[in-house]
């Protein structure tokens, strides 16, 4: 039975291909009827196949998706399917029109070879071949260039020309990318023009940036608009209608619900990496000396969901900060640690008197200690920490240094995002007066609902009891539901009937522009 199945499969494939191998094949019939030229009835599939393979070999080295294109034609016995289906009805001419107008999206039409496709269409339409075999190179080249241009054009508009995860080291958002299954389906589709139409970006933001680009006179302004048009082509994860966005160049957090702003506030984000970071990193890789290690506190771009709130948080001080800052402060001032409410652990055991540690005995690159800053007013995280899953140990948090929010350039943190209105943000997350009043009590604030006053009074009595040692501890609260959060990087966008522009604080525009140049 198994042997029979193996025998029947090639038979099925052969039968499915009979339309190509019979005389004349479909392309021969189509062209013969269209041109009223019997010559095409002599279309030789074997001779054409030889030409097609040579043409594929000569062109595929410049294709972006050569394996997919080869697979499509291999599965279809190298039939010129695009010409067969879309030449007579004029849809290949429509493809050329879309390609040649691609400058409205900031592309150079030459990258799609629209003019060559048009010339090939003109040559085929002229119908001046004396022998049918003279048409084979034209048909093969027209077919392959059209397929490549069709895929590239639709992919660029639907997914962008650049994969940001390939050029940015701290880009952790999983953007959608074209796959072979989708491209094969596209090539095998029945309506080329509808697919071209559906590929056009439809978001309000994209269209506004595009309109501004087409009317801009300054090359520098056009460049910024193009870069952000590209960002809005990237297929971002679905946030839903209710989500929180942190835009790094804007230094602002915005909570959106059906495009309405629930709350907006200033934020402080991670500081820009050192100038010459890449070269300095290479030097550090060779020396291994921490003095050669360049600073990079840039906040990563990511997508997650806020899943918990910590009141009176403990700060688990990262190794990098311990080495670059805490170590030196402790050497300089023996009482720095206790005055800053920083506890020191050795092999996960608390050291009772950290002020007695002889720091001269330890090099900072081999510190055997862990450091934690306890809850309280001096804690660098302030009174609240907002947690979401991510691989960079990044979170939103309050701060005990509010002066940073008065700065124009607020790229000053170690990587986490400091938010201006943590209490209001917490209230919106819990969406429940009972839970919110519990949270307020933890940070010594009276309840909103007077019937909850007992919690507050009990807590204040505990703190005031001199016979007992009151220890401030973190308290955990859950949001009403997890809220999507996206930390992104946009330097131009549409808002209040105009385009807003922001400085390229991390130099990401420069890097993106370098990757996009070949498409201009």
What is d(CA 313, CA 398) in angstroms, rounded to the nearest whole number? 10
149 with 258, same domain: the answer is no
* Residue 290: predicted pLDDT: 86
Q: So what's the pLDDT on residue 6?
A: 47
What pLDDT is recorded for position 40?
Answer: 94
Q: Which CATH number do you get for residue 387?
A: 2.40.440.10
Looking at the fold, whether 305 and 389 belong to one and the same domain comes out as yes
- Evaluate whether residue 59 is within a structural domain: yes
Q: Cβ(35)–Cβ(124) under 8 Å?
A: no
In a domain, 77, yes or no: yes
CA gyration radius, the chain: 32
Same domain, 192 and 266: no
Q: Look at residue 469 in the predicted model and tell me its pLDDT.
A: 66
Structure tokens at 276: 């010459």
Shared-domain flag, residues 400 and 260: yes
Structure tokens at 246: 């942190």
Q: In terms of domains, do 183 and 302 share one?
A: no
Tokens encoding 472: 């401030």
pLDDT reported for residue 17? 54
- Are 192 and 245 part of one and the same domain? no
Question: In this structure, is the dihedral angle defined by the CA atoms of residues 355, 356, 357 and 358, taken in order, positive or negative?
Answer: positive
Residues 162 and 49 in one domain: yes
- The pLDDT of residue 376 is 87
Q: What is the pLDDT of residue 12?
A: 41
Look at residue 499 and tell me if it is in a domain. no
Same domain, residue pair 167 and 303: no
Query: Strand 342-346 to strand 349-350: parallel, antiparallel, or no bridges (unpaired)?
Result: antiparallel
Question: Is 467 a domain residue?
Answer: yes
> Which among 171, 199, 227 is the end of a domain?
199
Question: Where among 199, 232, 263 does a domain terminate?
Answer: 199
Sign of CA dihedral 43, 47, 49, 54: negative
E strands, 217-366, are: 242-247, 252-257, 260-270, 302-311, 315-316, 342-346, 349-350
Phi, psi of 276 (to 5 degrees): 70, 30
Cis bond upstream, residue 24 (ω within 30): yes
Same domain? 49 vs 174: yes
- In whole angstroms, give the CA distance from residue 318 to residue 335: 20
Domain membership of residue 471 as a residue range: 240-274+295-310+381-489
Question: Catalytic site residues?
Answer: 397, 416
**8 A C-beta contact, residue 360 and residue 369:** no
Tell me whether residue 280 is in a domain: no
Mean pLDDT by 10 residues, the chain (520 residues): 47 51 88 95 96 98 97 97 97 98 96 97 97 97 98 98 96 97 97 97 97 96 98 97 98 95 98 91 87 91 98 93 92 91 92 90 90 90 97 95 96 97 98 95 92 86 74 93 98 96 97 92
CB atoms within 10 A of CB 81: 19
Do residues 91 and 184 both lie within one domain? yes
Half-sphere exposure (CA, 13 Å, Cβ side) for 17?
A: 15
Task: Let me know if residue 235 belongs to a domain.
Answer: no
Residue among 482, 513, 493, 503 nearest 269 (CA):
503
Same domain, 268 and 409: yes
Q: Using the 3D structure, point to which of 199, 232, 256 is the last residue of a domain.
A: 199
Q: What is the pLDDT of residue 293?
A: 87
* Per-residue burial over 449-463, b = 16 or more CB atoms within 10 Å of its CB, e = otherwise: eeebeebbeeeeeee
369: in domain: no
Residues 159 and 253 in one domain: no
Q: Is residue 342, in this structure, part of any structural domain at all?
A: no
What per-residue string of b and e applies to 231-262 under the rule 16 or more CB within 10 Å gives b? bbbbeeeebeeebbbbbbbbbbbbbbeeeeee
Q: What is the pLDDT of residue 518?
A: 85
pLDDT of residue 312: 95
Number of domains in the chain: 2
Distance CA(415)–CA(300), nearest Å, equals 8
């Amino acid at each position: 039975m198994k042997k029979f199945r193996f025998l029947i499969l090639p038979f099925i494939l052969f039968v499915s291909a009979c339309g190509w191998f019979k005389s004349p094949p479909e392309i021969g019939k189509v062209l013969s009827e269209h041109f009223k030229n019997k010559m095409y009835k002599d279309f030789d599939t074997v001779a054409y196949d030889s030409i097609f393979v040579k043409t594929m070999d000569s062109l595929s080295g410049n294709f972006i998706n050569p394996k997919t294109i080869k697979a499509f034609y291999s599965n279809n016995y190298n039939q010129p399917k695009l010409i067969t289906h879309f030449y007579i009805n004029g849809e290949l001419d429509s493809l050329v029109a879309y390609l040649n107008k691609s400058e409205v999206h900031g592309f150079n039409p030459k990258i799609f070879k629209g003019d060559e496709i048009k010339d090939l269409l003109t040559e085929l339409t002229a119908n001046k071949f004396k022998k049918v075999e003279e048409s084979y190179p034209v048909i093969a080249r027209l077919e392959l260039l059209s397929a490549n241009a069709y895929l590239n054009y639709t992919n660029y508009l639907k997914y962008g020309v650049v994969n940001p995860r390939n050029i940015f080291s701290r880009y952790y958002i999983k953007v959608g990318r074209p796959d072979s299954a989708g491209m094969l389906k596209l090539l095998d589709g029945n309506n080329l023009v509808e697919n071209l139409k559906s590929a056009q970006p439809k978001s309000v933001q994209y269209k506004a940036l595009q309109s501004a680009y087409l009317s801009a006179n300054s090359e520098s302004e056009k460049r910024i608009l193009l870069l952000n048009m590209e960002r809005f082509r990237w297929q971002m994860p679905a946030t839903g209608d209710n989500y929180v966005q942190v835009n790094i160049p804007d230094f602002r957090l915005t909570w959106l619900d059906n495009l309405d702003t629930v709350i907006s506030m200033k934020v402080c984000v991670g500081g820009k990496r050192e100038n010459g970071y890449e070269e300095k990193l290479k030097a550090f890789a060779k020396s291994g000396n921490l003095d050669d290690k360049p600073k990079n506190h840039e906040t990563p771009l990511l997508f997650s969901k806020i899943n918990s709130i910590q009141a009176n948080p403990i700060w688990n001080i990262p190794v990098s900060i311990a080495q670059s800052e805490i170590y030196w402060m402790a050497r300089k001032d023996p009482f720095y640690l206790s005055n800053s409410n920083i506890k020191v652990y050795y092999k996960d055991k608390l050291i009772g008197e950290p002020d007695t540690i002889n720091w001269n005995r330890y090099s900072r690159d081999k510190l055997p200690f862990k450091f934690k800053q306890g809850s309280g007013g001096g804690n660098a995280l302030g009174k609240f920490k907002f947690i979401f899953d991510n691989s960079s140990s990044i979170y939103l948090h309050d701060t005990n240094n509010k002066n940073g929010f008065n700065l124009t350039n607020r790229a000053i943190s170690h990587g986490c995002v400091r938010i201006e209105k943590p209490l209001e943000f917490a209230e919106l997350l819990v969406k429940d007066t009972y839970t919110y009043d519990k949270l307020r009590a933890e940070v010594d604030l009276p309840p909103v609902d007077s019937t909850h006053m007992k919690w507050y009074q009990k807590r204040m009595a505990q703190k005031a009891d001199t016979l007992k040692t009151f220890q401030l501890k973190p308290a955990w609260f859950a949001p009403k539901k997890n809220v999507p959060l996206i930390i992104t990087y946009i330097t131009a966008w549409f808002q209040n009937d105009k385009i807003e522009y922001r400085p390229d604080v991390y130099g990401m525009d420069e890097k993106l522009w370098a990757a996009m140049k070949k498409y201009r």
